[in-house]
Amino acid sequence: MTDNSRSTIKFKVPGEDKDEMRSVLRSVFDALTEKGYNPINQIVGYLLTEDPTYITNYNNARSMICKIDRDELLQELVRCYLFDKA
């Protein structure tokens, strides 16, 4: 029997079109803003819990964000935060 408790699991998710993710995230942000919500707080709530009720149905925002792989979106957000010079 081997001891796998010390091995590291490499996490990979399938590639998602970054431009499409950016477009969806912007549309969701805009819909939340138009409805008077704090879009950053709402999107973070959704990402942490995967509870779609954090996202409004207005302008189909909830449906759009649910089509994005949440793990891929989180990876891209961390990558942008660490490496993009904006």
Instruction: Check residue 17 and give its pLDDT.
Output: 81
**Residue 66 DSSP one-character state:** H
CA distance 12 to 76: 12
> pLDDT digits over 11-41, tens only?
555 554 889 999 999 999 999 999 999 999 9
Nearest 5°: the CA angle 36, 34, 30 is 120
pLDDT band at 10 (very low <50, low <70, confident <90, very high): low
Residues in the chain: 86
The structure's pTM equals 0.77
Query: Between the CA of residue 7 and those of 1, 2, 13, 39, 80, what are the distances in Å?
Result: 14, 10, 19, 38, 28
What value does the mean pLDDT of the chain take? 87
> pLDDT digits over 42-52, tens only?
999 999 999 99
Better-predicted residue by pLDDT, 4 or 82: 82
